[in-house]
């Protein structure tokens, strides 16, 4: 009984000391001239775990090659943890010849070098070795590659061609929504919130101005309805008091019925191209400049007031309303006035010596590039004058609005009595 116990113990100890499984690499090496390779092969490796979880510490081993004969046994490393490779250096005639990498699989039969070679770097004098495919290398043979590949984003089950988003699991999915939607930073999609509205300025409502007709049609439906501004002979009408709006129809109240010879104009905003109701950058009226201007007795156009709009303030979809008033003193000659949006004239007008006043307003609808501008002005006796144009002046770096004036004869004076520049939502 004691003898049997000792026998079992010896067997267990022998199994524990047997070591990890080994794969034999056996081959015959030749030089390029056909003579046998003689020298040494040094094999080095970093620490890894073998197929049986045994620890193989960092070390190297040198094997002599005589008459081309190479035979060595190594622990398989193709499934090692962490990923490991064998670095093999060939030396012959006392010189370093070349270096290559081996990835050794588990095998019960001897393998050739071509079965384990993954890459080769040739330097020094060069010596031929067993031919094989030197262009491929196993992923496990590159330190850290397997872990890096596992950390990369890969296609998820919801991947489709188009705009890609990465979900909370790190998978690449396709953005879901309509083709006109915007994709948000969290990967969700929905209607774009920064639609650029368009404007209609100086619109002449359709309808007979005969003193009895009260209904007039606009060319489009204002959106929002609060953006509508209706002018009768240059005087702003008040909704609910002078008129009411239903869709694109303006209906005046009886007391404000347009009379023959009256001029009607309307300005309003339209919905953004993606269905939203204009810019969301600001929600209240913003006064950019206001005050009294200067005066001049010069015969050339002189700046009587300016409003400097700083860089970065204006954006596509903004609307600027400008109001102004001039007073002419003296009767020796007439006077001229001009309002400029950057370098573009919003209006230019010359009036006779008998005119004492000029008042009016101008609008600028800011576009992606430049602006659509319009104006209307009139005097104490002078009739209403209107204009509309497109300005190409860049505004991203700032823009100057200039009120100018001049007189035709010495002794007369022209003053800019007041002005205001307002950005409206």
pLDDT of residue 272: 54
Assign 288 a pLDDT band (cuts: 50, 70, 90).
confident
Distance of alpha carbon 410 from alpha carbon 107, whole angstroms: 112
Q: Which of 39, 43, 70 is nearest to 59 (CA)?
A: 43
- 163-179 pLDDT tens trace: 777 777 777 887 777 76
pLDDT of residue 141: 66
pLDDT of residue 125: 46
Strand order, beta sheet including 59-65: 59-65, 39-45, 86-92, 95-102, 117-122
Q: What percent of the chain has pLDDT over 90?
A: 52
Contacts of 168 (CB under 8 A, 6+ apart): none
pLDDT of residue 203: 84
Q: What percent of the chain has pLDDT over 70?
A: 83
pLDDT of residue 319: 92
Q: Which domains does the chain have, with CATH numbers?
A: 19-145 (2.60.40), 153-190 (no CATH), 199-269 (2.60.40), 286-424 (2.60.120)
Which has more confidence, 17 or 68?
Answer: 68
Q: Is the pLDDT of residue 3 over 80?
A: no
172-176, 178-182, 271-275, 360-364: which has the highest mean pLDDT? Answer: 360-364
Assign 192 a pLDDT band (cuts: 50, 70, 90).
low
pLDDT of residue 368: 85
The two beta strands, 335-341 and 344-351, are antiparallel
Q: Is the pLDDT of residue 4 over 80?
A: no
pLDDT of residue 123: 44
- 19-34 pLDDT tens trace: 899 999 999 999 888 8
Q: Once rounded to an integer, what is the mean pLDDT over residues 103-117?
A: 92
CB 37 within 8 A of CB 92: yes
Q: Is the pLDDT of residue 406 over 90?
A: yes
- 296-336 pLDDT tens trace: 999 999 999 999 888 877 888 889 999 999 999 999 999 99
pLDDT of residue 342: 95
Q: What would the 3-class secondary structure string for the chain be?
A: CHHHHHHHHHHHHHHHCCCCCCEEEEEECECCCCCECCEEEEEEECCEECCCCCEECCEEEEEEEECCEEEEEECCCCCCECCCCEEEEEEECCEEEEEEEECCCCCCCCECHHHHEEEEEECCCCCCCCCCCCCCCCHHHCCCHHHHHHHCCEECCCCCCCCEEECCCCEEEECCCCCCCEECCCCCEECCCCCCCCEEEEECCECCCCCCCCEEECCCCCCCHHHCEEEECCEECCECCCEEEECCEEEECHHHCCCCCCCEEEEEECCCCCCCCCCCCCCCCEEEEEECCCEECCCCCEEEEEEEECCCCCCCCCEEEEEEEEEEECCCCCEEEEEEECCEEEEEEEECCCCCEEEEEEEEEECCCCEEEEEEEEECCCCCEEEEEEECCCCCCCEEEEEEEEECCCCCEEEEEEEEEEEEC
* Adjacent-strand bridge partners of 423: 286, 320
- 196-239 pLDDT tens trace: 556 787 788 888 999 999 999 988 888 888 889 999 999 999 99
Distance of alpha carbon 328 from alpha carbon 406, whole angstroms: 10
- 117-154 pLDDT tens trace: 985 544 444 434 444 444 456 676 677 787 777 777 77
């Amino acid at each position: 009984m004691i003898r049997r116990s000792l026998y079992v113990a010896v067997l267990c100890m022998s199994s524990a000391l047997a070591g990890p499984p080994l794969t034999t690499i056996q081959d015959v090496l030749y030089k390029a001239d056909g003579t046998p390779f003689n020298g040494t092969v040094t094999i080095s490796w970093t620490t890894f775990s073998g197929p049986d979880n045994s620890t193989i510490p960092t070390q190297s081993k040198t094997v002599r090659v005589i008459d081309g004969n190479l035979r060595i046994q190594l622990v398989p490393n193709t499934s090692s943890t962490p990923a490991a490779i064998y670095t093999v250096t060939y030396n012959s005639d006392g010189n370093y010849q070349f270096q290559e990498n081996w990835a050794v699989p588990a095998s019960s039969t001897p393998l050739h070098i071509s079965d384990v070679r993954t890459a080769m770097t040739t330097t020094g004098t060069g010596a031929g070795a067993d031919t094989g495919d030197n262009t491929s290398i196993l992923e496990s043979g590159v330190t850290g590659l397997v872990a890096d590949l596992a950390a990369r984003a890969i296609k998820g089950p919801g991947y489709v061609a188009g705009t890609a988003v990465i979900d909370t699991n790190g998978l690449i999915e396709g953005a879901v929504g309509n083709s006109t939607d915007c994709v948000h930073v969290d990967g969700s999609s929905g209607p774009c919130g920064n639609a650029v509205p368009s404007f209609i300025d100086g619109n002449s409502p359709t309808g007979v101005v005969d003193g009895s007709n009260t209904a007039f049609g606009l060319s489009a439906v204002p959106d929002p309805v609060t953006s509508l501004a209706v002018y009768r002979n240059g005087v702003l009408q008040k909704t609910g008091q002078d008129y009411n709006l239903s869709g694109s129809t303006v209906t005046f109240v009886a007391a404000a019925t347009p009379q023959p010879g009256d001029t009607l104009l309307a300005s309003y905003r339209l919905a953004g191209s993606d269905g939203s109701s204009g810019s969301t950058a600001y929600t209240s009226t913003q006064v950019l400049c206001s005050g009294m201007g200067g005066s001049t007795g010069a015969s050339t156009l002189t700046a009587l007031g300016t409003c400097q709009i700083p860089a970065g303030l204006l954006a596509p979809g903004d609307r600027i309303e400008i109001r102004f008033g001039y007073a002419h003193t003296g009767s020796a000659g007439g006077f001229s006035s001009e309002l400029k949006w950057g370098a573009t004239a919003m209006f230019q007008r010359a009036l006779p010596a008998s005119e004492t006043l000029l008042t009016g307003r101008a609008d600028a609808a800011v576009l992606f590039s430049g602006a659509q501008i319009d104006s209307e002005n009139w005097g104490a006796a002078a009739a209403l004058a209107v204009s509309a144009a497109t300005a190409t002046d860049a505004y991203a770096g700032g823009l100057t609005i200039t009120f100018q004036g001049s007189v035709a004869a010495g002794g007369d004076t022209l003053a800019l009595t007041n002005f205001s520049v307002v950005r409206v939502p």
